[in-house]
Structure 1
Amino acid sequence: MFYHLGRIATRFRWLIVGLWMVAIAISLPFAPQASQVLHSGGFVSPDADSERALNLLVQKVHLNLTIVQVIFTSENTSAGNVGSADSPQFIQESQQALARVRNWSEVSGVVSFTDNPRQISLDRHAAYVNILFKPDPDSASKLLPQLESRLQPVPNLKTTIGGGPVFYEDIQAVSERDLRRAEFLAIPFAIIALLLVFRSVVAAILPALVGGGAVAVSLALVFGLGQITTLSIFVLNITTLFGLGLGVDYSLFMVSRFREELAHGRNVEEAVAITVATAGRAVIFSGLTVSIGLAGLIFFRINFLRSVGMAGVMVVLLAVLAAITLLPASLSIIGTRINAFPVRLPRLWRRTSGAATSTLSPSPAAPLANDHHGFWYQLSHVVMRYPLQVFVPVFILLIALGLPFLGVR
């Protein structure tokens, strides 16, 4: 079956690549908008006693849980300035700063430190005001820019804001920043690692492109899924992690096997078919295993875990689909040019690369001269020859590394 799948990928290579290009082109406008439909929080099950108690307080007592603290700190405590929070000037300037907030339609109330002395610091030079928002904390976090614009600047008080909505806004900002950083750093480092393995520019770039394409389509699907269900903001990080990691990993297996088949004298069509029948089969079963494991998270009632499960299954299956359709079709188009633009590496790396790089000759028909030499080949034989002697120290090391987690609370 897998062999015939490889034949199909070769026969309809331009159609398959064209369909993937269309899918990626359609995804590109929506992928950057994925964060707009994601939500912060979601770490507590709705069945938890604490969550039920909070819901009762909201429903029966009309407790407002969406609170933003505006903290006022006197900039200069010397004589003649604002001084302590009890001083008339401190109170006057804080009220002046909140003038445009009190009559805001999104605010249900304002509790000042003049109404509750416990909101004043022990040194009397800082105090906070609770602003009660009508929307839920996740929605209120989107109103923070408007809140900051409504706070009037005052000459002698430093104004900062905090609270649940600010925390959620920071989580979203950090997730988006980490996503950009991951895309900026992960792809170049992946290409460098692939260059060290394949010693060919074309062979190194192809897996990175497949992984990047899987991430783009996955983020677009996250945007669509976020329209119909609640997803955690951490889905962004999970999608990038799995999409790039598995996309590159699976593609590495496929490209390596393809180059081996070319080096054994196979034609391009036969090499692609055998690649899908061997490495492709391993990729499919690996992806299905990972997906089944992640699918278990979908049945949790904690939104964070459920979101990770849904996004994880989706991006893993997309990475597998790209590896067994887009990649074989691309390999059949590139053919023997997969070894184009060879990269010369230091002699030490060539010696330790062994059989892993023995197929990297610019000539696809070159014999596998170093199959039985090199560090990795010899290491594998040592492990197979002395399995118990290798297993015991490695097992002890893993247990030692895991011991600190026994004290985690």
Structure 2
Amino acid sequence: MLDRLAGLVLRKPKSVLVLVLVFVLAGGAVSQTMTKRLTMGGYSDENSESHHAAQVLAQTFKQGEPNFMLLVTDRRGIDDPAVAAAGTALTQRLQREAGLQSVASYWTAGKPAALRNKDGNRALVMGTIAGDFDTMLERVKELAPAYEGRFQGLEVKAGGSALMWHENTETATKDVTRADSIVFPVLLVVLILIFGSLVAAALPLVVAFATMLMTMLALWGLTFFVDSSFFVINVTTFLGLGLAVDYSLLIVSRYREELRKGLDMPDAIRVTLRTAGRTVVFSAVIVAIALSVVLVLPFTIFTSLASSAIVTALLCALSSLIVVPALLVMLGHRIDKLRLIKRKDGPATATENGFWHRLALFVMRRPIPVALLVLAFVMVLGLPAKDLKLRLPDEQVLPKSAHAAQTAQILRAEFNTQEQQVIQVVARGVGDPAARGAQIADYAGRLSALPNVARVDALTGSYVKGQVAASPELANYRFRAPDATFLNVVPAVDGLSKAGEDLVRDVRAERSPFSDVLVGGAPAVSADTFEKLYDRLPLALGLLALGMYVLLFLLTGSVLLPIIAMVLTMLSLSATFGALVFIFQDGNLLWLVGDVIVTGAITWTVPIMLFALAFGLSMDYQVFMLARFREEYDATGDNTTAVATGLERTGRVVTYAAVCISLVFLAWITSGLSYTKAVGIGLPLAILMDATLIRGAMLPAFMKLAGRANWWAPGPLRRIHARFGVSEGGEDAAGDSRAKEEPVPAR
């Protein structure tokens, strides 16, 4: 296949580039409307109890979670007659807004203590923006600026989860633009240092830019078949940029190497595609396998990110295999024009004189001390990972300057309530709710007596610690519908914390007078989400291990090496997770990443996507190292020589590739979103650790200790490998033996 592709590119390079240009222009066109086809939702399981509760609330009661609020401040005190009149007028104005439901405030809901701060100079106005997730975002974009500022002498700040998601979207969009402006110049400098030539350095960036636009076209098409999260743009843009540069780097490096060996341009193209091209294909397959296991998690946020990232990885490979060779055909020997760094590009030095060869021999002379030393270091780094805590995103993922974050911090500091995180208990099939007032009151009283409950609001009034705290007001009629009722359980703790999830379980366990009860609200979504996540994770990890084991066996023919490779990758990932906990969960080294809000937990999407991406990229490096080791072992029959020679022949270009893709994601540290910063720290750390400590020390040490057992397999498996096994190397299309002297540096 790669030979035929080389023939096509050599015959019609201009036609290939014109066709690519058409797709690039189409991608640029659709990218302008891409965000309109994406959703900010997708964080809940649509088959969960909490999701069904939300549907009943919306359809039966025309109600939802409070997602918009106004924080009102006045030094005169909120009970001052003039302030109360202004606060009531503000509430009435908000009640008249189209698309808002259940608007109430301290002044219109009977002056509950939960809606005023401890000092008595602030109060809350709460409401629900109706509609789906994207409708909510469009409406809050209009409401927030209309109410922020001064109103009849009152100081008004907007907040709530609707504003949080809007500001989240705005921040993420700005982050992409800013990171792009940083990444391209930095990568250009690094590529010039690698190649020395401006033309050679610019080529991977040109291909990366074209690939990013073609990826937008592919993702736009994907939105017609699957729901896609807004965050696919961030992830796929930078994953595509990193992989496109990575793959282009491999192909350009191999092409220049073949030219230095004396091959003419057509033969150099054929050899490059047969060797480096095969490397690129396997790389994309490995990344796709690692990401595909995320598809078993029943959340739109993950299925859309995974499917988009898989498409991105495969498209990066395809683009690199077509666009780079076509450009190389057009450039020919001019690939080294505009040299900015003068260096001698002669034949490669003898393998045994190289840095990686000497390092491998050093490690293999003392494998146990080196392995123990590095293992101890990695375990120390990974130790904090045992305390990893996950939570759903809220206002605290935003920068401290965000309006929603500022309002939320005031609420946490000054209010004894979690009004935005109510647990909603929905009962259907109750007949006339008014006729069952006594049962509703008893149920509400028992729920209010549960630990960590601040208040329960129901049709019959409000309840605190098992006692009636307020008689029913006009606002309480919202809890009534034909043949149904619901209750709001206001937590006294953070509803998205472990204590909030425990409260959800207590509410569900409490005996109800009604036969059909659903528990929803943000804390219930959190509890259901993590219950489903932990239920599916073993399946995802099992599929990942099986897929990687099969691929590694087909590449190496060994039953032991796949296990060694996966164990070492897990070690580097544990160190990465430990660093994330130490920085983002515990709040250390914030000067390094920026002043983020420390919540004592990490946004749940970060470890999952980081694991899939880092595992795929780390295994990508190890897979092709092991394949090269296998080739050297087949040629020499000596384990030590195979490891040292294979490591030397994979070392330089793999290191360059790791540095380039790490720089791409390091740009995310400039983000205003804490979870984006976490990926910007975690992914480069995992990649660089794998490319240095794991590849340079742990892998040679383990392979030295295993000896000939590295290459053992029982007879039936040897026959399977002989028939279906694959190899990274390829025969020289030019028939020149010199092209076999130093196979492509593998990833």
Give the counterpart of 1:127 among 123, 127, 148: 123
Instruction: Give yes or no for the alignment of 1:113 onto 2:113.
Output: no
Structure 1: how far apart are the matches of 2:193 and 2:145? 52
Partner of 2:37 in structure 1? 37
Partner of 1:246 in structure 2? 243
How far off its partner does 1:390 sit? 4.4
How far off its partner does 1:250 sit? 0.8
- 1:95-110 correspondence to structure 2 within 5 Å: 95-97=88-90, 100-110=93-103
**Partner letter of residue 287 of structure 1?**
A
**Partner letter of residue 130 of structure 1?**
M
Instruction: Give yes or no for the alignment of 1:308 onto 2:288.
Output: no
Partner of 2:206 in structure 1? 209
Cα deviation 1:346-375 (Å, max 9, x = unaligned): xxxx7xxxxxxx6xx4xxxx5446876564
Q: Contact 2:196–2:340 (CA<8 Å) still a contact in 1? A: yes
Give the counterpart of 1:230 among 223, 227, 236: 227
- 1:137-216 correspondence to structure 2 within 5 Å: 137-148=133-144, 150-151=146-147, 153-154=150-151, 156-216=153-213
Instruction: Give yes or no for the alignment of 1:84 onto 2:77.
Output: yes
Partner of 1:336 in structure 2? 333
Partner of 1:278 in structure 2? 275
The 1:219/1:14 distance shift into structure 2, 3 A limit, reads same
**Identity value in percent:** 27
Instruction: Give yes or no for the alignment of 1:404 onto 2:384.
Output: yes
- Worse-matched range after superposition: 181-190 or 19-28: 181-190
Structure 2: how far apart are the matches of 1:190 and 1:308? 25
| TM-score of the superposed pair, with normalisation by structure 1 | 0.86
Structure 2: how far apart are the matches of 1:335 and 1:52? 62
Partner of 1:355 in structure 2? none
Partner of 1:80 in structure 2? none
The 1:309/1:385 distance shift into structure 2, 3 A limit, reads same
Structure 1: how far apart are the matches of 2:82 and 2:133? 32
| TM-score of the superposed pair, with normalisation by structure 2 | 0.49
Partner of 1:290 in structure 2? 287
Tell me, what secondary structure is at the counterpart of 2:167?
A: helix
Structure 2: how far apart are the matches of 1:370 and 1:205? 30
Cα deviation 1:195-248 (Å, max 9, x = unaligned): 111111111111111112111121233233334432122211211221011111
Structure 1: how far apart are the matches of 2:272 and 2:365? 29
Structure 2: how far apart are the matches of 1:137 and 1:285? 39
How far off its partner does 1:112 sit? 2.1
- Worse-matched range after superposition: 379-388 or 106-115: 379-388
Structure 1: how far apart are the matches of 2:229 and 2:295? 13
How far off its partner does 1:193 sit? 1.4
Tell me, what secondary structure is at the counterpart of 1:29?
A: helix
How far off its partner does 1:279 sit? 0.5
How far off its partner does 1:321 sit? 0.6
**What's the C-alpha RMSD, in Å, of the aligned pairs?**
2.5
**Partner letter of residue 250 of structure 2?**
F
Count of aligned pairs between the two proteins: 385
The 1:391/1:193 distance shift into structure 2, 3 A limit, reads farther
The 1:325/1:381 distance shift into structure 2, 3 A limit, reads farther
| Runs of 4 or more consecutive aligned structure 1 residues displaced over 6 Å after TM superposition | none
The 1:60/1:109 distance shift into structure 2, 3 A limit, reads closer
Partner of 2:21 in structure 1? 21
Q: Contact 2:144–2:163 (CA<8 Å) still a contact in 1? A: no
* Structure 2: segments with no counterpart, 5+ residues: 390-747
Partner of 2:4 in structure 1? 4
**Higher RCO, Cα 8 Å, sep 6+:** 1
Partner of 2:600 in structure 1? none
Q: Contact 1:40–1:171 (CA<8 Å) still a contact in 2? A: no
Structure 2: how far apart are the matches of 1:28 and 1:381? 50
The 1:147/1:181 distance shift into structure 2, 3 A limit, reads same
Q: Contact 1:66–1:140 (CA<8 Å) still a contact in 2? A: no
The 1:35/1:66 distance shift into structure 2, 3 A limit, reads farther
Tell me, what secondary structure is at the counterpart of 1:231?
A: coil
Tell me, what secondary structure is at the counterpart of 2:44?
A: coil
Tell me, what secondary structure is at the counterpart of 2:151?
A: coil
Structure 2: how far apart are the matches of 1:336 and 1:387? 44
Structure 1: how far apart are the matches of 2:214 and 2:239? 13
The 1:308/1:192 distance shift into structure 2, 3 A limit, reads same
Tell me, what secondary structure is at the counterpart of 1:45?
A: coil
* Structure 1: segments with no counterpart, 5+ residues: 78-82, 351-357
Tell me, what secondary structure is at the counterpart of 1:69?
A: strand
